[in-house]
Structure 1
Amino acid sequence: MTNKQIIIAAIKARPGIRTPELVEETSIDNPQSYIALEIDRGEILVDKVASELGGRHINTYRINPENPPDETLNPRQRVVKARVAAPATEAAFSAALSSRGDLHISDGRKTIQLSPSQTAGLIAYLDRINVDQVMKAAGIA
């Protein structure tokens, strides 16, 4: 689990948990910095309460039941209009392998970016197959 997931789980388990208790339970210093976006989006609610010892107020945290944070912590999806483009030609195809191992493949309309580990997996897969036989069977070779 990430620090953010640990903090959200602790808040869910103990609504109204205070900052010092959250730090003690999770062993994560400055937990609010990990959940700042969830607080800004109103998914985690923050209330200030007086300290038992006096002095500064302390934050308490609880999950907003009407707008809870995403359990999987996936980014929120945006809906965008697809643009209409001319059909891609073979001349528009490009592939680029960076020195870090990132692979970018584009057909002029769409681009795929693979991480170094995904690139290694793709290359290992292609190494295991006989491309000439596959292309001949497809009637291309």
Structure 2
Amino acid sequence: MSEIKSNRVQIIELIQKRPGIRTPEIVDELQISNPQAYIAGELDRGEVLAQKVQPEQGGNAVNSYRINPDNPPDLTLNPRQRVVKAVGKRQPEGTTACSFALSSRGDLTISDGRKAIQLSVDGTQQLIAYLDRINVDQVMKAAGVA
């Protein structure tokens, strides 16, 4: 019995086999109408790179895809197992930026570049409940930050 693969996995495998493959070639080979929608996450994370190129017959530019060798997609993870990262606003030079990473299990990592705090699922739920109860704008204004 053959393995059933998602459109996302089939597209990524095509890109791995044929770097520089173009959108119309993926559409023809897999019989899907909008391949970019299936790999939007990989494009956003920089795992798959897209470049606009002119078609050989002329006309509108199309995307050409290749795998980022420094950050390839992990086909062993399904989308729900991926870690979601949120980074605060870009800070001026010399100030500290912080980042937040929430895993699909509910663990939260908060990092300021020097130290990292790892919260369990229970800790994450308690933090979110606490933040839901306070008015952040009022607290920041009282602290003279806002």
Q: TM-score band, normalised by the shorter chain?
A: 0.5 to 0.7
**Cα separation, 2, equivalents of 1:83 and 1:20:** 44
Identity of aligned residues (%): 54
Given candidates 21, 43, 58, the residue that maps to 2:25 is: 21
Structure with bigger gyration radius: 1
Given candidates 64, 70, 75, the residue that maps to 1:71 is: 75
**1:65/1:84 Cα in 2 relative to 1: closer, same or farther (>3 Å)?**
closer
Query: What are structure 2's unaligned runs of at least 5 residues?
Result: 84-102, 109-118, 124-146
**Cα separation, 2, equivalents of 1:36 and 1:52:** 25
Q: Which residue of 1 aligns with 2:62?
A: 58
**Cα separation, 2, equivalents of 1:22 and 1:70:** 20
Q: Write out aligned runs for 1:70-109 (5 A).
A: 70-74=74-78, 75-77=81-83, 78=103, 79-80=107-108, 81-82=119-120
Give the AA of the match of 1:29.
Answer: S
Q: Deviations over 1:1-29 (max 9, x none)?
A: 01111111111110000111111111221
Give the AA of the match of 1:14.
Answer: R
Given candidates 28, 37, 41, the residue that maps to 1:37 is: 41
**1:83/1:46 Cα in 2 relative to 1: closer, same or farther (>3 Å)?**
closer
Query: Aligned-pair distance for 1:73?
Result: 3.4
TM-score normalised over the length of structure 1: 0.55
Give the AA of the match of 1:64.
Answer: N
TM-score normalised over the length of structure 2: 0.53
**Cα separation, 1, equivalents of 2:77 and 2:121:** 29
Task: Tell me, yes or no, if structure 1 residue 49 matches structure 2 residue 53.
Answer: yes
**Cα separation, 1, equivalents of 2:29 and 2:21:** 10
Q: How many residues align?
A: 85
Q: Is the 8 A contact 1:45 1:64 kept in 2?
A: yes
Query: What are structure 1's unaligned runs of at least 5 residues?
Result: 86-141
